[in-house]
Structure 1
């Protein structure tokens, strides 16, 4: 413990050290192009289905008479004879035509009354029915009056050619890259009109017609073929079927309406998620152009569906563990909106295992209509240092959801929204979090994800291994499969088709941090075991820690010496010692070392980094000096900070985090780093004529010594004028020159140091924004800390929350400015930043010290975020002593 007395992955994801600048191409979070995100997310589960297809073109023949294909709704692998025309999936009951047929221009029968729908046509049709109602007087039967409407709606919504051509913006304009040519407002008004009728039979027949078409879907090969699915998604009562206690319809058909809505929803999600690649690419772009509110509604809708499916898994968990101990039911056995009644789960009430969740009401407490919990997750102790309580722990096991096709299809569809958000940033990544996933055993989920990836890699490299190694791999696989619950009754391994780590944007930051902690702890234990075994073999003492012993005044050279001499110890638990200073590192010394070392390394006078005057952000300095060792040290320090869950006070641009994750940098990244030049480029690109600016493909810059340099951006650039045709290339090359080309060598050394520490798969689950958050914490430089939240997480030892000294402290803290509050937090915790998961996850403690001497100064135990106070005789003396302790402290004593 350090007492302050008056003192105070994925290995396959490789960063591109010289990634070319591309303003137009957006990159997914795993460093791959957005268009390939879905296939890469699912490849390790061996469940990637070729897009909807004909049996002769994209399905795979395993014999002359047998075809292996997959369902275009749920993705289930299918085997069927090659000579049949249609096949039915036994999982989702979808009937598919597997031999391509020529689509008729019209699918209407001669006696049909249906036509392409529009709001005006629908309103006119309803008015005609209402005319009969007036003639019938008070004795009218609404079901008979609106019978023609029921028939028309059933035929329209069960016929692909009618429904797919309905609610168009223009009959002359086909769907294009920018728009599906659908009038969504008109579709919404039409559904609202049907809901306002005195009978719900027309709406019910509409749903039945749509359900028939969904069970017998046409072959969809072009983006224009999914308009009917987009129309069905606009049915306003679809979300209501997922929320317990909400009934939009009040007559006797309400249960049937609810069931039909659920069946429609799951099939629409399935068909969209397994569409052709060119269809999903177009859909992604359409969604990227949605207004902000509509885009958020789409995310909330998918999250609500995922929340419902997970709640179903939790109810099964409670039913099996509480109602019928020792039994197990497969969640796929009852794919019904009223599954709780089938389980008799309406008898479930809060118990010692479920009282934190409120699962008996259908949805967990603290869940918004979008499926996201309204509070901050506390499932991880990575930053807070709290031990998780086992008393109320209910974790959803991998076996319960790993084969759930509803979650798999919903995850794929949510991926399209996530990619759309990357194309045109509308919301933060946190909007995609589904915090109910925190109740999933994410560590087991992560292990399964890694296990699947390793087995695929093993299968690909089997031919290069000897027989002994194959036996070892088999035994390890068997052990791992037993832990993950992947062994079937006959002893074979079965791979789960779904893990949440395939769709990491659904995992909350707290869940990802718990995974990172899980991998770090496991690696630390492995390194300790290796050190012990090596010590036995060599009969030498061993150390399970990575020990850093430095002098405060020579912190950089001493740190570099320790790092160079302990290259294999980075993944051991870090322990820091300051020469000639007392203290045992229980976390505080480590914080102090990171704080002082980064302050020195990122000092502009050091010459490693330079700062932009406008943005205040730092970037690699341009110089001819050989500082590879120091840049390597910086990379190691940042990796160690993440590995040891320590927050740093740094001002780094997002471009650095994107390059660490192997993603391309864009003009927006350059604007963040250099706003003045970047915004000028924005204006340049908007100019109609740039020939008068006399710009050439050259760049002028000053190095750290102030010496001016002139270079060509392309060969012979000094003679190439910037024109309207090449201005985009000019901006691209200019930005890439500073973000990639001129920092190639220092960034490579920095990246080597970082990857030497952080080499696991867990980091690949994070986005660059999340990496920034876990490295530097929540920045509140210009805003004060919410004192009420801080009070709620504070624990007391010797004091109570009503004691006078405690009230003095909170009054003192509340009156301080934002900058002063940061200094107080630094004194107590060793860092002036909040944890990545927010203030609620911070541990904070106020302890009472007994001493009759009123001159004693307060003490801070930064290892435990603990402030120790004496009982002072007056408020003035208390504030004076606390001021002196906070503002005149350094190391272990007063300055």
Structure 2
């Protein structure tokens, strides 16, 4: 063993160790660069640019030596400063010397112009004069080719017939000025804020016409020309500069190349055409996703104005691309895990659309169990010729455990997709569609969910997302830490990185450049709920450990639970007392006890406590909330009374309900959930809360002249005691008349007065209570609509429950589906009205709402009780959503007993 290092050596060891971690905290990507003369150069492994790729010159003795031992070119000594930038196609970080002209990204192989005048387009040197494309022009050109060859008697070879068309298409689609000005609605008008000024129908017709030709070579040359331009993109600074990308995105066979082979190709070009389509698609997505902010803002608005069907097609298209990329990552990982070296030679692991054909694997559809997760495509799994799964549990395996998991338990690990730039760019582009949907609500949030992401290990993904955020904070605070703290931070980072699989083979650390939590709209609600429960469980375990350690240190008993002991008739004051005396216990596991009542809380008492407490707190007579007569929704009551403690209690209760996965029966507007998530409330939110006044404002904004209405910037309202009040919406509002010029401001201030200004104090107390419980990052993954779903569940008050789905999720203990009592129960349930079905559900589960993820995720159980005395009533275990029935001799007795149990029960007995 070596002797311990000296103090100076120890400091040096710390520096070296921390520099290793710094490579993780500040990763860089080696990219080729160019010399000041414009020649393209390549970055060497130590980050210094060396050999010139486009010349025959080599390094010689005249070059200097870098202190690390690597050579330094003459151009580096002349231009020592490095510029940090990012690739405009894949987003990879680039470092290149100042003063160069072009850079090539080694990740996506895109040639980027650095020092070119913004106003000058990047044209091909061989370009000749040509006109912008249009459907009539392309159609005439095709007819000319056919007519010319027929007159010459050479119409048997389609390749020779359409050779001029091939040349024209290649030239047009490799020229920025030509393709960017093609398929215009108006040749004179530039793109506006409301429209890109593109005739997408004409572009689609043109592509369809070219694909209908007897040869695919013209379309193939079109793709090759587009690829040249995509690999050498011009600087794009204005919204008008992305017209060519939007045109390329309309190529009809782009989605097909992600699904299967192109059957229409008959001349041997199918693989090449498919690969070119994929190459075009990934680069279009990359360039659009990393466009300038003002371009993406305009693009988002354009997409928000799309018809519903076209908008959904865009979402499905991007999701298909994400599904393909995720599947590709899985297959490469599986290939490396299963196929032994040398068993299948010459397999390229590069980014290839035809990768499935290079892998020795079979693709099967998931089993019936895995299909419950909503997977719509076949999950790639290796199977032997006999039809059994290949054993991949030994050696370097895809699965982390020693035992092969069941197929429906397959989870995709972060290491398989965390470094994929295709997923990152697709996620960014999908986020533009998500923002567009928020501007003009077209579809529900669920339309953006990607089914394959349900197979991702979302808990690991969430931890990596938080880990990346924590290292970012670390970078900002490293300078203020001593050597010992740096060592501790380093060891913690190593441990975390090992758990997340972020350690390289050489021992260095690396960040995951992509996590699905960066784009949470791709995660299904079930996946987000699992993340929330994961964070809640971890916090509960941590609090329990802290309580145990404190009990050992102070030799005093500490409870590992947050216990709430209340009297049924004084549920609000008793609950407030418990909450005030246990401010630090909210993140412990909740246990509820009703005084002088039997029962151990395994979940049922907790549900009942939430139900009774919210019923009391949200009662209009309590004075905390008022209800609109039209909408039936409640909002913070306008009052001069100080109810901060009670509003704080309401916030804590709602936070505890989410934290403990309990559904509440509340009538809250979308505005509350948006304010909880820090989002701005709008007129539409006010309309939902107060439809009468809100719709009048809609009509007001559509009027041509509002001066005759004699409206002023004032508001009149009544508080909870019926007293009338008058206030100005702005300073001296009573003397400022509403006109056509300021009517939008008037409506905005009126809505904000009731949704923000008058409820500022009670909402602040409510928010403090809520955030005291829900303070983690998991909640930020949800949208306001999703928060509403997990808090109040699925509202089906006006429709009956689908009994077939409920039957499919029901488990039986002592009974079978064919037993008479079971049949009587289902007949009984089906005959009831929607309101009565809710009452039955309340009796059995403790809540009359369905889970946020729908009826299929509900746990439901029917158990047989054995007793000679059949006069007893049925029993419900709300902790386990379990209905316990006796083997009653007749249906009449069964119905009578069940009616009494459901309609006369309260707590653990009858009223």
The TM-score with structure 2 as length reference comes to: 0.86
**Aligned counterpart in structure 1 of residue 147 of structure 2, from 93, 113, 131:** 131
1:411-490 alignment, distance < 5 Å:
411-490=427-506
1:770-849 alignment, distance < 5 Å:
770-849=786-865
2:84 matched residue in structure 1: 68
How much has 1:332 moved relative to structure 2?
10
The separation in 2 between residues aligned to 1:297 and 1:134, in whole angstroms, is 41
**Partner deviation per Cα, 1:121-163 (whole Å, 9 max, x = no partner):** 0111111122245446696111111111111111111111111
Call closer, same or farther: CA 1:361–1:574 in 2, change over 3 Å. Answer: closer
**Aligned counterpart in structure 2 of residue 576 of structure 1, from 592, 595, 611:** 592
1:499 matched residue in structure 2: 515
Call closer, same or farther: CA 1:111–1:762 in 2, change over 3 Å. Answer: closer
**Partner deviation per Cα, 1:667-716 (whole Å, 9 max, x = no partner):** 11111101111111111111111111111111111111111111111222
2:626 matched residue in structure 1: 610
The separation in 1 between residues aligned to 2:370 and 2:600, in whole angstroms, is 41
CA RMSD of aligned residues (A): 3.0
The separation in 2 between residues aligned to 1:634 and 1:420, in whole angstroms, is 34
The separation in 2 between residues aligned to 1:174 and 1:860, in whole angstroms, is 68
1:521 matched residue in structure 2: 537
Q: Conserved in 2, the CA contact under 8 Å of 1:354 and 1:394?
A: no
How much has 1:527 moved relative to structure 2?
0.2
**Partner deviation per Cα, 1:17-37 (whole Å, 9 max, x = no partner):** xxxxxxxxxxxxxxxxxxxxx
Please say which of residues 298-307 and 454-463 is displaced more in the overlay.
454-463
1:40 matched residue in structure 2: none
The separation in 2 between residues aligned to 1:809 and 1:141, in whole angstroms, is 74
The separation in 1 between residues aligned to 2:590 and 2:192, in whole angstroms, is 57
**Aligned counterpart in structure 2 of residue 567 of structure 1, from 553, 558, 583:** 583
How much has 1:104 moved relative to structure 2?
5.3
1:683-762 alignment, distance < 5 Å:
683-762=699-778
Call closer, same or farther: CA 1:89–1:136 in 2, change over 3 Å. Answer: same
Please say which of residues 736-745 and 591-600 is displaced more in the overlay.
736-745
The separation in 1 between residues aligned to 2:710 and 2:377, in whole angstroms, is 67
Q: Conserved in 2, the CA contact under 8 Å of 1:846 and 1:869?
A: yes
How much has 1:482 moved relative to structure 2?
1.4
1:110-509 alignment, distance < 5 Å:
112=128, 114-132=130-148, 134-135=150-151, 140-244=156-260, 247-323=263-339, 333-346=349-362, 363-364=378-379, 392-509=408-525
Q: Secondary structure at the match of 1:692?
A: helix
Q: Which has the larger radius of gyration?
A: 2
Q: Secondary structure at the match of 1:69?
A: strand
Structure 2: 5+ residue stretches without partners: 1-23, 37-46, 49-75, 381-403
The separation in 1 between residues aligned to 2:323 and 2:344, in whole angstroms, is 21
1:645 matched residue in structure 2: 661
Please say which of residues 533-542 and 133-142 is displaced more in the overlay.
133-142
Q: Secondary structure at the match of 1:750?
A: helix
**Partner deviation per Cα, 1:194-223 (whole Å, 9 max, x = no partner):** 111111111111111111111111111111
The separation in 2 between residues aligned to 1:433 and 1:208, in whole angstroms, is 33
Q: Conserved in 2, the CA contact under 8 Å of 1:88 and 1:96?
A: yes
The separation in 2 between residues aligned to 1:70 and 1:302, in whole angstroms, is 23
Q: Conserved in 1, the CA contact under 8 Å of 2:89 and 2:110?
A: yes
**Partner deviation per Cα, 1:274-320 (whole Å, 9 max, x = no partner):** 11111111111111111111111111100000000111122234334
How much has 1:75 moved relative to structure 2?
1.0
The separation in 2 between residues aligned to 1:483 and 1:352, in whole angstroms, is 30
The separation in 2 between residues aligned to 1:422 and 1:197, in whole angstroms, is 42
Q: Secondary structure at the match of 2:725?
A: strand
The separation in 2 between residues aligned to 1:617 and 1:154, in whole angstroms, is 61
1:877 matched residue in structure 2: 893
Q: Secondary structure at the match of 1:873?
A: coil
Q: Secondary structure at the match of 2:441?
A: coil
Q: Conserved in 1, the CA contact under 8 Å of 2:839 and 2:848?
A: yes
How much has 1:46 moved relative to structure 2?
7.8
The separation in 2 between residues aligned to 1:865 and 1:481, in whole angstroms, is 40
**Aligned counterpart in structure 2 of residue 590 of structure 1, from 589, 606, 622:** 606
Q: Conserved in 2, the CA contact under 8 Å of 1:240 and 1:248?
A: no
1:41 matched residue in structure 2: none
Q: Conserved in 2, the CA contact under 8 Å of 1:113 and 1:152?
A: no
Q: Conserved in 2, the CA contact under 8 Å of 1:486 and 1:493?
A: yes
Structure 1: 5+ residue stretches without partners: 1-43, 366-387
**Aligned counterpart in structure 2 of residue 97 of structure 1, from 113, 130, 135:** 113
Call closer, same or farther: CA 1:355–1:639 in 2, change over 3 Å. Answer: closer
Please say which of residues 78-87 and 818-827 is displaced more in the overlay.
78-87
How much has 1:107 moved relative to structure 2?
5.0
Call closer, same or farther: CA 1:667–1:248 in 2, change over 3 Å. Answer: farther
Q: Conserved in 2, the CA contact under 8 Å of 1:661 and 1:768?
A: yes
Count of residue correspondences: 821
Q: Secondary structure at the match of 2:775?
A: coil
